């Protein structure tokens, strides 16, 4: 199996199944992740993504009634987890790298860790604003936009490190994916400008795009058409998440800036219990997936959120 996502896509004519995992919450073991992979590995994912979670500021009450400000990282371990999965299952991994919370120096060091571990794929992201901030604030000396991170990775691929005095440097060989938003990124002034920034990421060297989750395939088809018209020619991997709770109806649009089609919303609202909601979510995602396969999507990327059962049912019906 080729190690780079882009080579896998180029060499495989059919739609592939893939998924992303969250590192466990601090205090939990990695076994839960392995259990998820064990339930999905039979559908032959050519790669598995591992998300990255930046530190958060929390306020804890003290005995004297005052609050203490603390910085915590609730889901550490992306790099280690990626390596553990890569070698336990012999499946390529795509750790996510974000700009937020990293200086460029720290980014370079993290990329070198990945390189030395034999990991040649990354998904390059900006990351969301810290919960304590209204807008995204880069670290001092850090990348402000994902495009800058892509450029830094491409520099390393050419052997260009941050320290200009290093000579005879060894180049890395990363294949880089970036995020795309069929329904527009929440901060973008309009879809055209969002697409122009996406094109910058591709022109900087990104090999492929993974989309934000969506529930209406027409949005993805239109996005692919607009990308092609704008001269973005790289593969565009659709991201799907099966609805699993009634709460998702208000939560997902708020967090991801997406619409939920009325037909799906009505079906979810009519459910009497969580098992019924789960089933509606699975059936919707199966229909979406079948249509995406027919369209010729290179891969379908499932956001598992740590839950394998519904994604397994979808994979059984489609792959
Ligand atoms: P960018 O491409 O930098 O875009 C951010 C915003 O800035 C957009 O509104 C864009 O239009 C605008 N913009 C871009 N370039 C410029 C420019 N040059 N000048 C002015 N404006 C510009 N987050 C995590 O924290 N961890 C994860 O693991 C993670 N995984 C994700 C996986 C996928 C597939 C997706 C779709 C998202 C993921 N996210 C993750 C969320 C992501 O970090 C957020 O959506 C974030 O707000 C934007 O990231 P980006 O890489 O798209 O940013």
Assigned architecture for domain 5-318 = Alpha-Beta Barrel (3.20)
- What the block records as the tokens of 234 is 């790289």
What is the pLDDT, as a whole number, of residue 99?
Answer: 98
The b/e string for 165-185 (b: 16+ C-beta within 10 A; e otherwise) is eeeeeeebebbbbbbbbbbbb
Expressed in angstroms and rounded, the spacing between residue 114 Cα and the centre of ligand 1 is 21
* Residue 146 pLDDT: 98
The three-point CA angle 141-146-147 to 5° equals 95
Q: How far apart are CA 249 and CA 252, in angstroms?
A: 6
Smallest Cα–Cα separation from 170: which of 162, 154, 159?
A: 159
Tell me which H or E stretch contains 300: strand 299-303
Q: Decide: 269 and 246 in contact? Cβ < 8 Å.
A: yes
> pLDDT confidence of 121, banded at 50, 70, 90?
very high
Q: Domain ranges in the chain?
A: 5-318
**Closest CA relative to residue 143, chosen from 132, 156, 134, 159:** 156
Ligand 1 binding pocket, CB closer than 6 Å: 51-52, 54, 96, 98, 123, 125-128, 145-147, 179, 185, 187-188, 194, 197, 201, 210, 212, 239
Alpha carbon distance 64, 52 (integer Å): 35
Query: Which tokens go with 206?
Result: 């990104």
Q: Tell me: the pLDDT tens digits for 235-254?
A: 999 999 999 999 999 999 99
What's the confidence (pLDDT) of residue 308? 92
Q: Which two tokens stand for residue 18?
A: 């893939």
Each residue's pLDDT tens digit, 77-119: 999 999 999 999 999 999 999 999 999 999 999 999 999 999 9
Residue 2: per-residue pLDDT: 66
Closest ligand 1 atom to Cα of 187: 9
Task: Give the DSSP letter string of 263-297.
Answer: HHHHHHHT-SSHHHHHHHHHHHHHHHHHHHHHHT-
Higher pLDDT, 126 or 70: 126
Structure tokens, 221:
């088809």
Model confidence at 1: pLDDT above 80: no
Atom of ligand 1 nearest to the CA of 179: 36
Contact by Cβ (8 Å): 59, 67: yes
How many angstroms separate the alpha carbon of residue 267 from the centre of ligand 1? 31
Mean pLDDT of 17-34: 96
Percentage of the chain modeled with pLDDT above 90: 90
CA gap 137, 142 in Å, rounded:
9
Q: Among candidates 230, 227, 256, which has minimal Cα distance to 243?
A: 256
Encode burial over 66-76: b for 16+ CB neighbours within 10 A, e otherwise. Answer: eeeeeeeeebb
Q: Which atom in ligand 1 lies closest to the alpha carbon of residue 129?
A: 47
pTM metric for this prediction: 0.97
């Amino acid at each position: 199996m080729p190690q780079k996502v882009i080579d896998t896509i180029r060499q495989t004519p059919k739609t592939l199944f893939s998924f992303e995992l969250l590192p466990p919450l601090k205090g939990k073991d990695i076994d839960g992740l392995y259990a998820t992979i064990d339930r999905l590995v039979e559908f032959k994912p050519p790669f598995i993504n591992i998300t990255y979670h930046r530190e958060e500021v929390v306020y804890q009450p003290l005995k004297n009634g005052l609050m203490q400000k603390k910085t915590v990282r609730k889901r550490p371990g992306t790099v280690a987890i990626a390596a553990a999965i890569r070698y336990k299952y012999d499946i390529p991994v795509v750790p996510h790298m974000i700009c937020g919370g990293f200086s460029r120096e720290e980014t370079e060091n993290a990329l070198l860790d990945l390189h030395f571990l034999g990991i040649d794929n990354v998904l390059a992201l900006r990351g969301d604003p810290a919960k304590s901030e209204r807008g995204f604030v880069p670290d001092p000396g850090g990348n402000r936009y994902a495009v800058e991170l892509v450029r830094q990775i491409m520099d390393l691929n050419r052997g260009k490190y941050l320290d200009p005095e290093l000579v005879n440097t060894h180049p890395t060989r990363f294949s880089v994916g970036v995020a795309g938003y069929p329904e527009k990124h929440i901060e973008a002034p309009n879809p055209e400008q969002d697409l122009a920034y996406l094109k910058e990421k591709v022109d900087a060297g990104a090999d492929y795009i993974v989309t934000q989750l969506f529930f209406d395939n027409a949005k993805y088809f239109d996005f692919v058409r607009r990308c092609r018209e704008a001269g973005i020619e790289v593969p565009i991997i659709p991201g799907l998440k099966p609805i699993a709770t009634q709460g998702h109806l208000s939560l997902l649009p708020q967090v991801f800036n997406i619409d939920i089609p009325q037909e799906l919303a009505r079906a979810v609202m009519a459910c009497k219990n969580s098992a019924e909601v789960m089933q509606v979510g699975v059936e919707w995602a199966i229909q979406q997936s079948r249509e995406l396969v027919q369209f010729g999507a290179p891969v379908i990327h499932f956001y598992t959120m740590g839950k394998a059962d519904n994604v397994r049912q979808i994979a059984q019906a489609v792959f």
